[in-house]
Structure formats: C-alpha cells, structure tokens
Structure 1
C-alpha cells in the first residue's frame, strides 16, 4: 500500500465495522499484499458469473463479488497504514490488482450483453483514468481521485446494474440494465479522464 497521501479518500475507513475488521486482520498473519491479490480472486469469480451464469442468482452473486473486491481494496490499505504492515512493494500491489480486477469485471460485462467491444472500451477507459491520476502524481501533484466515474463509482454502477439486471432478467428476460451499466461506465470513465486531465493542466499552468 502506498503512503497515506496517495490514498483514495474513503469515509468507510472511519466506520466502526471497518476498523474492527481491519484491526483483526492486522493482528493476524495476513498481509496487505495478500488481501490485494484476493481482490483479483473475487473479480475472477464475478467475471465468470457474468459471462457463464448471468441468471438471477448469478447476477446477485456477481454483485456480491464486486462488493467483496471493494472490501479487499478497503482493508489492504487499512491493514497496511493503520495496522503498520506496509511493505516496499505495497504500491505495486495497491495498483496492479485494481487494474486487473476492473478489467475483468468490465470486459465480462461487455460479453454478457453480447457487446464485447463495449466491455473492452470501458476497461480501457477505466485503466486510463488511473493512468491520468498517476501522471498527475508523477508530475508532483496530489493524486486526483475525482469522478464522475472513479473506481468506487464504476463498481457502484456495476453492482446496481447486476441487481437491477437480476430482477429484469427474472421478470422480463431482458438485459437493458446491464447495457445501461456498461454505457455509463464507459462514458463516465471517458469524462473522468477529461476532468482529471484538465485539472492537471490547470495545475501546470498555475505552476508555470
């Protein structure tokens, strides 16, 4: 996990349940990097459910996998920072599993709605949002986690899409909610790249 100044601001870190779980994990032999890797496992499971079992139950379980992935993203940082278990390679484990998990979920979503190109486009744009953020950090600025479609927002849209899609599929047999989620993620990610790039440009002009 990276230094605290590069952490995504999350209000959930201050909740009692999150602190209790993180404290328990910190006292165990589990490392933050292991928690980061487990997030990929949940992403693989969720992606498989989306592609191979997009039934009512499958979509609900996929939504659960999305949230478990986010829980891993929350607790790896808390165990590393608050639990005092930072490692020299923590920054790598903080970023790479996120990019892999994002791509797995979003690409799978595209195949589920039989529009693979939209899934790949969404995954590419999601990765680009992180690239723009990291570029700002490399230029010496505070990393910019703004949306409108940052990682938590993407996963919220995907979770909602799966849950609504489960109901829609059960009653209507259609997948409009999943299509809407894929479009929102792709378009929102593109807008996020623009907003973050504009913010970096403004900082560079001010600095110059």
Structure 2
C-alpha cells in the first residue's frame, strides 16, 4: 500500500550532501537523532503549555518537516558513513515513539478535541512502530508498511494542526477525523504483523 514513506529515497537524495557535510564535520548520527528528539519535545511542550494557540499549531508542520529531515539524515550517516551501531538502532526506535507522543498527545489538551481519541491514535501509532520493529526478532525484515506510518501520522496531525491554527473550531468533524486516523493506525498494526509473520524464516 502506497504511503509517504515511499518518497523516502528521493527525500534522502536531496539530503545526502548535508549528511556528508555533517559526517565530515565530526557530527555523529546519534547526535542528529538526539537533536530531532529534542526539537520534538520542545515543540510538544509548547503545544501543551498553550493548548489551542494558533502559533504553535501553525508551526507544527514546520517542526515535523525538520524532524523528518533530521531522521533521514541520521539514517544516511549511519548507513553511508559507517556510523551504524546497536546503540544507534535502539535510540532511533525509542526516539521515534517518544517524539510522536510528545508532539501529538498535546492535542488532547485542546478544548473541544476528544482527548481519549487522541490518546488512542497516539498509542496505536506507537504499537504500529513497535510491531514493525519486531521483524528482526523472528528473522524477518523491519517493516514500514502503511497505510499510516510515521510520515503519514506527521501529515495527519500536521493538517489537523493547520486547520485548528487557522481558527476552525473543534467539533464533530474532529471526532470523525481522529476516528479515521485511529482506523488507519489499527490497520497498519495488522498489516505490519501479517507481513512480518509471512516473511519470518523458520
């Protein structure tokens, strides 16, 4: 199933010079990962401290794009500049789910937004990422299948942030919107689990 993740090779190609420059400057891939996490936590704290405020909501898509770029850069540095390590692999998986929680849970604090639905979408997204990471445990590839992976969640919450930031009042439409995101997240869990089991080596 096509997802935004399928655009990753072209996105990485644009960022390859930046990854090479950082590697030559002595910056580690793990440092880039930590920078992406710190940026996400800071943006999430801003959203939580000013729930529903226009500026942090409208700047969220920018933060999400920068985070995505940093995630792509750290991957390039690890693979193409001999910086891959067990510590980096663990840090990468943990930082992704921590950043998602930090960035998206503050939506539950916005007046009129269904908080339990927000929490369910975030938790199901975390389960999807952990499901994808189970592959190597049973000798299968790490799975990034959609329809609602990390990049798709960024688009979904980024769009929601823009709509709310532009003054659209939360209401029944936000429940429907979040319900769709939840359904897509749940299907992603099932899709990744099915692919992992099918590709597992005896």
Q: Which bin holds the TM-score, normalised by the shorter protein?
A: 0.7 to 0.9
Offset, 1:114? 4.1
Offset, 1:181? 5.2
TM-score normalised to the size of structure 1? Answer: 0.81
Matches within 5 A, 1:135-154: 135-154=134-153
Match for residue 191 of structure 1 among 168, 180, 187: 187
Match for residue 73 of structure 1 among 65, 71, 74: 71
* TM-superposition CA deviations, 1:87-134 (whole Å, max 9, x none): 341111111100100111221122225433222212211111122112
Q: 1 CA distance for matches of 2:138 and 2:103?
A: 30
Match for residue 29 of structure 1 among 16, 20, 26: 26
| Farther-moved stretch of structure 1 (44-53 vs 121-130) | 44-53
Given that 2:132 and 2:143 are in contact with CA atoms closer than 8 Å, whether structure 1 keeps it comes out as: yes
Could you say which residue in structure 1 is the equivalent of 2:49? 52
User: For the aligned residues, what is the CA RMSD?
Assistant: 2.3
Name the count of aligned residue pairs.
Answer: 193
Structure with greater contact order relative to length (CA < 8 Å, sep ≥ 6): 2
Given that 1:129 and 1:150 are in contact with CA atoms closer than 8 Å, whether structure 2 keeps it comes out as: yes
Could you say which residue in structure 2 is the equivalent of 1:94? 92
TM-score normalised to the size of structure 2? Answer: 0.83
Could you say which residue in structure 2 is the equivalent of 1:4? none
Given that 1:129 and 1:189 are in contact with CA atoms closer than 8 Å, whether structure 2 keeps it comes out as: yes
1:69/1:41 CA distance change after superposition, 3 Å: same
Q: 1 CA distance for matches of 2:105 and 2:35?
A: 19
